[in-house]
């Protein structure tokens, strides 16, 4: 297990090859086995590929151009995250009206589900990155609106998925757990 966790990487460059429907369904199925408080199963998945992904390109472009009007190079390089990705899955978490604790717990459960998808992706020879910033658009209304999510859903992750262009060779750096742990 430790080796599997050490091997998991954020993959950002993909081949143009589409992801098979069967593999997409395996990712979604893996997500649903995540732990979740009181079995609220608070996740929802929006799958973007082909035409819908093409339409999302315009949403991302509009957002970037509005946000960085004087930085066309940044806009162009950021757009590659969308144009070079064959599959995007947006994952939302249910907001529990009047119960902030439950709403936060739901985001924890959805985060666990995303981690399951990430590990599942690697076992299917797929690469994945969980995006929130930039074209991840998790902290903006544009993507929420585009996918047609309801007022009671919060965006947690924009998962860019595909067959990796090349394996990652850079070392995975982490602070040792001993510096992050207090033994009481
Ligand atoms: C909540 C969350 C948000 C992230 N947002 C972004 C993002 O917006 N853009 C990006 O390129 N990577 C994003 N990442 C991926 C991290 O940058 C990546 O996991 C980190 O650099 C560690 O690399 P590793 O996953 O290969 O171990 C995000 C990861 C998490 C967990």
Query: What is the per-residue pLDDT across 123-181, written as a single tens digit (0 to 9) for each?
Result: 999 999 999 999 999 999 999 999 999 999 999 999 999 999 988 888 899 999 999 99
Tell whether domain 11-163 is in CATH 1.10.580.10.
no
* Predicted pLDDT at 109: 98
**From ligand 1's centre to the CA of 111, what distance in Å?**
13
* Predicted pLDDT at 39: 98
* Predicted pLDDT at 167: 81
Q: Determine the Cα–Cα distance for residues 151 and 132; give it in Å rounded to an integer.
A: 19
**From ligand 1's centre to the CA of 112, what distance in Å?**
15
| Ligand 1 atom closest to Cα of residue 81 | 11
The angle subtended at Cα 113 by Cα 120 and Cα 178, nearest 5°, is 90
**From ligand 1's centre to the CA of 102, what distance in Å?**
25
Boundaries of every domain in the chain: 11-163
- Pair 88, 56: CB distance under 8 Å: yes
Mean pLDDT of 9-18: 96
Checking if the pLDDT of 112 tops 90, the result is yes
* Predicted pLDDT at 118: 98
- Is residue 5 within a helix (H) or strand (E), and if so which, with residue range? helix 2-7
Ligand 1 proximity of 130 Cβ (cutoff 6 Å): yes
**From ligand 1's centre to the CA of 184, what distance in Å?**
31
**From ligand 1's centre to the CA of 65, what distance in Å?**
23
| Ligand 1 atom closest to Cα of residue 138 | 8
Mean pLDDT of 26-45: 98
| Pocket residue to mutate for ligand 1, from 3, 9, 10, most atoms within 8 A of Cβ | 10
pLDDT above 90 covers what percent of the chain? 97
- Structure token pair of residue 1: 């297990």
Question: How many other C-beta atoms are found inside a 10 Å radius of the C-beta of residue 79?
Answer: 17
Report DSSP state, residue 135. G
Nearest CA to ligand 1 atom 16: 10
- The closest of 38, 179, 170, 50 to 106, measured between CA atoms, is 38
* Predicted pLDDT at 169: 85
Q: Determine the Cα–Cα distance for residues 4 and 25; give it in Å rounded to an integer.
A: 21
| Ligand 1 atom closest to Cα of residue 9 | 26
């Amino acid at each position: 297990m430790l080796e599997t966790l050490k091997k998991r990487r954020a993959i950002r460059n993909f081949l143009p090859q589409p992801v098979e429907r069967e593999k997409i369904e395996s990712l979604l199925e893996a997500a649903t086995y995540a732990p979740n408080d009181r079995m609220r199963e608070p996740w929802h998945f929006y799958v973007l590929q082909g035409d819908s992904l093409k339409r999302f390109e315009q949403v991302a472009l509009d957002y970037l151009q509005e946000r960085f009007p004087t930085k066309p190079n940044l806009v162009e390089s950021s757009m590659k995250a969308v144009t070079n990705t064959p599959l995007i899955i947006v994952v939302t978490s249910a907001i529990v009206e009047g119960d902030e604790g439950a709403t936060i717990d739901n985001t924890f459960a959805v985060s666990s589900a995303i981690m399951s998808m990430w590990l599942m992706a690697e076992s299917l020879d797929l690469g994945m990155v969980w995006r929130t910033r930039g074209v991840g658009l998790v902290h903006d209304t544009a993507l929420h609106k585009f996918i047609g999510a309801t007022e009671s859903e919060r965006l947690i992750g924009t998962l860019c998925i595909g067959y990796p262009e090349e394996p990652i060779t850079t070392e995975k750096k982490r602070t040792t757990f001993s510096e992050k742990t207090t033994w009481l």
